Structure 1
Amino acid sequence: MKIKGTLLLIVSILVSSFTIFNAKRDVNIVFIGDSITYGAGLPDAAKQAPPVICANYLKTQANIGSVDFSNQGHSGYTTLDWLPGTKAFIDAENAAKAFANQQAQLVFSIKIGTNDSAMKGTHGAPVAVDDYKANLKTIIDQLLKDFPGSMVVIEHPIWYSPNTYNGSMYLQEGLTRLQTYIPAMDQLVKEYKATNPKRVFIGDTKAFDYFKANAETDLQHEDGRQGVFYLHPNPKGAVALGEFWGKAIAKVLK
């Protein structure tokens, strides 16, 4: 009887361990970003924007259950437009609170920086790298405070052509500035590892080089004040970017 009881206990433990190991994780994602996040210029942003692709990718992962998301991308927005207390920030928090399944893992995916890097034309531009980092930290600090169980994933920016000049002026100076934000993001995540372990992560790091190498095929050809420029993903590029984000978030969730 003792042997039988011991065997039953072992089987019970193994079954419980297998169930926990294979349990799927439901996820809610709020995408905080700019026109690239929103899907500007795409024929059908509601179906083709990077957040849609990202969510669809995550649904294919064996360890992930349901995936709900809210695309809070806004054209032209900088970190100043996303500071706590702004309409954009309040809307993003309300989106997080509105998910039907509040037991799901909440993730904030943040891609802000393109408009901060502009020479002029966007809110506060140009935003110096130290100010950019401070603004990003202020945003994240408030999210962590208001949603204690949440995770924040910071996506690296994507490349744009050095002649980019639409309603705002970016050009080579802006592109150079944008690249100074990347080590600032990485450093910020390192700091959070000490103060808020397992809460803030670097997401995608590959899209910048990908779009630089594939601008002709994956970015929209847009008419600007200095000729055709490349800034926003086309449908093909939106799929690529969404999958980059999806793979990065999937890695974080593991």
Structure 2
Amino acid sequence: MKKYLLAVVLLFITSTISFAQHKKPALNIVFIGNSITQGVQLADAATEAPPATAVAYLQKQKNLDTVSFSNQGHSGYTTLDFLPGTGTFSKVEDAANAFTNKDALLIFSIKLGTNDSAIHGPHGAPVSPEDYQKNLKTIVDKLLADFPKAVIIFQHPLWYSPNTYNGAKYLQEGLNRLQSYVPMIDGLVKSYATTNPKQVFVGDTKAFAYFEKNHLTDLIPENGKQGTFYLHPNKKGAEALGKFWGMAINKVVRRNFK
């Protein structure tokens, strides 16, 4: 009888441990970005902007528990606007602290670079590739210092048409500069692999080519100083971008935080 009871107890303990080990992770995500992240020109940014559609995708994934998020996208902002010490950075940290589930995995999803790449107009533009990387590192270092268990995911920047020229001037020069930021992101992530293993990752890398190919259907035609240009996702494009981000985030979580 004693042996039977002992076997039952051991089975219960083993089952409990196994359940704990396979508990689905809950996520708290702060999306950092510019007007694309913010969802400007969308009818209902709260539900249609890429962060909302990314979370809608994540909430359908069977390997995840609850997913909460905060959209900290700001139109026209560059990496300089998000540096520690700015009001914008404080709002990012306030958003991270405001989540109610303190046991959830905290993720900062960062998609910056469009405004940095401009010839002139946005704060600090044009930002050199080296300064762009330096600014990102300054932001990430502070986030990791204040949230030691947080995960950072860099989404690659998006394509825009080479005649983009609204209040700010981008054009082909800006697009070339934007593409020069990509190896800076990838190199920065690689450097964190030794100092902060499993904390800083590259996220989406596919959206740039997707929007270049599908800009007539997924980006909003806008009147500019050099004709109709394409920069901001429409509803269809925001849903596609959100799925790209969601897939990238889930891939990081699934591979590293089971």
Task: Confirm or deny a common fold (TM above 0.5).
Answer: yes
Q: Return the offset for 1:18.
A: 3.7
Q: Secondary structure at the match of 2:41?
A: coil
Q: Which amino acid aligns with 2:202?
A: I
- Corresponding residue number in structure 2 for 1:183: 183
Alpha carbons 1:109, 1:155 under 8 Å: kept = yes
- Corresponding residue number in structure 2 for 1:139: 139
Alpha carbons 1:22, 1:63 under 8 Å: kept = no
1:103-182 equivalences under 5 Å are 103-182=103-182
Q: Secondary structure at the match of 1:149?
A: coil
- Corresponding residue number in structure 1 for 2:239: 239
Task: Give, in whole Å, the separation in 1 of the partners of 2:206 and 2:82.
Answer: 24
Q: Return the offset for 1:22.
A: 3.4
Correspondence 1:33 to 2:60: no
Q: Return the offset for 1:126.
A: 0.5
**After alignment, is 27-36 or 59-68 more displaced?**
59-68
Q: CA RMSD in A?
A: 1.4
Q: Return the offset for 1:161.
A: 0.3
Task: Give, in whole Å, the separation in 2 of the partners of 1:6 and 1:170.
Answer: 72
- Corresponding residue number in structure 2 for 1:215: 215
Q: Return the offset for 1:21.
A: 4.5
Task: Give, in whole Å, the separation in 2 of the partners of 1:225 and 1:20.
Answer: 58
Q: Secondary structure at the match of 2:139?
A: helix
Q: Secondary structure at the match of 1:164?
A: coil
Gaps of 5+ in 2: none
Q: Which amino acid aligns with 2:130?
A: D
State the number of aligned residues: 254
- Corresponding residue number in structure 1 for 2:76: 76
Q: Return the offset for 1:46.
A: 1.1
Task: Give, in whole Å, the separation in 1 of the partners of 2:214 and 2:6.
Answer: 61
Q: Secondary structure at the match of 1:179?
A: helix
Q: Secondary structure at the match of 2:11?
A: helix
Alpha carbons 1:207, 1:241 under 8 Å: kept = yes
- Corresponding residue number in structure 2 for 1:53: 53
Task: Give, in whole Å, the separation in 2 of the partners of 1:18 and 1:58.
Answer: 24
Per-residue CA shift, 1:106-161, capped at 9, x if unaligned?
10000000000000011111000000000000000000000011101000001000
Q: Return the offset for 1:66.
A: 1.1
Q: Secondary structure at the match of 1:223?
A: strand
Task: Give, in whole Å, the separation in 2 of the partners of 1:138 and 1:199.
Answer: 15
Correspondence 1:22 to 2:22: yes
Q: Return the offset for 1:3.
A: 6.2
- Corresponding residue number in structure 2 for 1:225: 225
Q: Return the offset for 1:242.
A: 0.4
Q: Which amino acid aligns with 1:150?
A: A
Alpha carbons 1:38, 1:72 under 8 Å: kept = yes
Could you state the TM-score of these two structures normalised by the residue count of structure 2? 0.95
Task: Give, in whole Å, the separation in 1 of the partners of 2:218 and 2:13.
Answer: 50
- Corresponding residue number in structure 1 for 2:200: 200
Percent of pairs with identical residues: 59
Per-residue CA shift, 1:67-117, capped at 9, x if unaligned?
111100000000000100111100000011111111111100000000000
Q: Which amino acid aligns with 1:115?
A: N
Alpha carbons 1:48, 1:238 under 8 Å: kept = yes
Q: Return the offset for 1:56.
A: 1.1
